[in-house]
Structure 1
């Protein structure tokens, strides 16, 4: 895979969540910080993003938000609205969404001061209404979602992004972003066969388009030229070296060989790589090997010795020591903890606060 795809597939942990929400003014709902990333897209109408009194941003149709570190935020029908209700305490079921027939619109949730979630209803994907819907049209419709990720191991590309990335509609129109948003919004709005398989892939696609659009906008605007990991992806030599490491983490890479891939001397390559990526070439090789190992441990049942070999460790003992230094637990215990976390996230009644969503259907 290419580097940007690797960033998404490897750093993400657990089950993604997403929902389509119809908002009816007045409303003010607070979404807590999560260990991961959030996104929000306005399909129609407008809403206000409020972040700890630091930022008040009005969002309109086609606007996209990306919060790479899962920052706490509120969505409100007014910039002056106070007393936002926590998303986990603001929703109650109005109908049994688990019994929606295939192809039918997913029944909704309605915001109130009370909260009572039936224990047998999963909470991964769905459609939601917030506010007193009555017979009126919603004042805003959004699609939002979240990825849980390792807060202690953000990829440099995500770590250097601002806490709130805003892509106005005029930016998104130049990319495939609106098409991805439309597909996800329609899929979340109906209970159709295959949705459980399709929606996670649509989420991956949408986040890739968000990041791609942001990076292209930075490059074209001239902001932050040549700096950070985004700059590394624009530097032909460093990008070639990073790509080589991602494609074959098991290879016994040396700084000299990576420099050859970049078309630079050993010393020149090391200086440029460190300046852009923020760590030395071999430190990044180790980081990527162990990050890849963590993904393999989460997603596969392969023996730990096999995982060690696939990421460049000839000794299972050396791999276990390196892994424990990085993650604070042995590979075996990490795999067990990841399985327990996944089971907890996918069990009925588990809350999954995301960017402007509290999901309602799996």
Structure 2
């Protein structure tokens, strides 16, 4: 039985463990939260800080293969483990590049990967030097996630609210759609992409409200997006699973927004809708097994289940029966004990044979399920 370790014990790790059971893996998880979603599912669960060198290094010594479900980890420890012969996927240098959006953007620039224009900012005071770059998004270099650490700046009047940390200003582009591609690559060089999906963002929370699979774009645009995703994967020389979020501009250009070197919110639907889920595909990639069939078995959608506004505390789910009563709807709850506004608490995958049917079910699901505090 192969011993594998996951840094991070959230919902991505939980679904990764569920897929790993079929491969008879001995799975250990490290997470700072003693009640993390992975706790009851891992063969071994250890509470510890993911950014602490000694904690990560010692954890890594107990397994044969090490992977991540979150980028905020101690890369120095992973590099030492890698140098000592431990298999770490994605590779430490890839994580280091991606976990800092400033380095990530510079990587695109160096490798001529199309991406929105940007300038680097070291502190809040430097914003005034780039007033002519507006409108733009200011993005924290590190520790931004799920819409946090990103804000829109439209005029110099917004500078007083700017982040006073190393960040970047990214030029606002005229977006037609936001799309995503997930690509996997194993050590032997085998590579497979999942069909392009379309992301619809929540107007207030700046995170995905729901997605449509496949994206409602032309076959030529889909082929271009998949080719760009593979190019990024190859230039990173990465082994594992990479989610590439892209902008489709109103001029028809496809630009890389951001990437995540792990399972991603834009791939949850693959558990039900594709020949191989993103989670199984990650295991296949990092264990150097043949990559699985990624073709879609059905039209699909995925609706994020978020904590309701105004509710913080022990989670209580309303509308579960109504949700499960919808034909082709599959509920996935993440086992998080505490809810708070806009926290990802679960998702619903929806299958249907028509786009109209999907859209009707999306609306129904969004009105049915609610996460409140009790």
Q: TM-score range by the shorter chain?
A: under 0.3
The structure in which a higher percent of residues are helix is: 1
Higher strand share: 2
> Which one has a bigger Cα radius of gyration?
1
| TM-score for both structures, normalised by structure 1 | 0.24
| Higher relative contact order (Cα pairs below 8 Å, separated by 6+ residues) | 1
